[in-house]
Amino acid sequence: MKRIGILTSGGDAPGMNACIRAAVRTALAHNLSVFGIRRGYTGLIDGDAVPLDRTAIRNTIHLGGTILETSRNSEFYTKDGRLKAAASIEKMGLDGIILIGGEGTFHGASLLAAETDPAALIGVPGSIDNDIYGTDYCIGFDTAANCAVEAIDRIRDTARSHERIFFIEVMGRTAGFLALESGIAGGAEELVIPEEEVSIDRISERIRRGFTIGKKSAIVVVAEGKTPGISFEIARQIGERLNFDTRVVVLGHLQRGGPPTLRDRVLGSLLGVAAVEALLEGRSGCMVGEIGGDLAYTPLEETWQRKKPLDEDLWRIFPFLSE
């Protein structure tokens, strides 16, 4: 192992730069040459790579987004595109690649490894949705959750002042981790998550019950699901049933940006070091994550083929906390 590449792919997540920084410093400490592949799989196909040294990653740990930039590349999901990527890897002389991203990133890497003989591939989970199997937490989740909680706190002030029901839509296309944890931390009265079928009757009744015991406002945290903006229709239906004033706030990409929290900087640093060490140990075709405080190595295929479950204890206690 002499020459490695690092790329970020898919949605950006706060803490990715901390991971890049840690991986570069660890690689240089082991006398490896490091190249940053720009714009994710687009750059891998195009051979768009720049050398990474200590100067390149200096003063980046506090930055959101990714200094390598990112993309979602449809060409990579064709065999032709993957063959181009394999040719670029060979031309760049890379012995190993660290891929920081989510399910789509690891799905693509699995296909690349199955069809060609590329460099050793090590994944690092970066996703504010926290939906990647094989790790308790993904880089970026803590920052996004704290952003959502701050928004809930601010909106609760105006909800209470005007006696309104607010629907706060957070990200989470197929998983409700962000909605569940921010909902608990923000004291929400109700949740809408992809893991459970939306029941307008149930949500309306729970909010109505809250009003009978003295509540004058309510917060509903909604995971965007497959149709961002779903909160508007839910709010309309519940407002009509309860004859109550409703408002919707869609946080959207606001949750992606900004400086990463302490937890995301530490997690990114830990997994960046672990990814380089995994390459030096001869590992390939796996993702390094953290489970129960220990490093864990999960085959790339499992990271996107297996569904990561919500924390059963958190889901169990929410109804008690929201009364």
Which residues are known catalytic residues?
A: 129
Do residues 128 and 257 touch, judged by C-beta distance below 8 A? no
Q: Which residue shows structure tokens 């050398």? A: 51
| DSSP-derived pairing of the beta strands 49-51 and 33-37 | antiparallel
| Dist. CA 69–CA 43, nearest whole Å | 10
Which amino acid, 1? M
- Region for 132 from its dihedrals, namely left if φ exceeds 0, alpha if ψ lies in -120 to 50, beta otherwise: beta
Cα 81 to Cα 45, 138, 222, 227, distances in angstroms:
7, 28, 37, 29
| Dist. CA 320–CA 311, nearest whole Å | 16
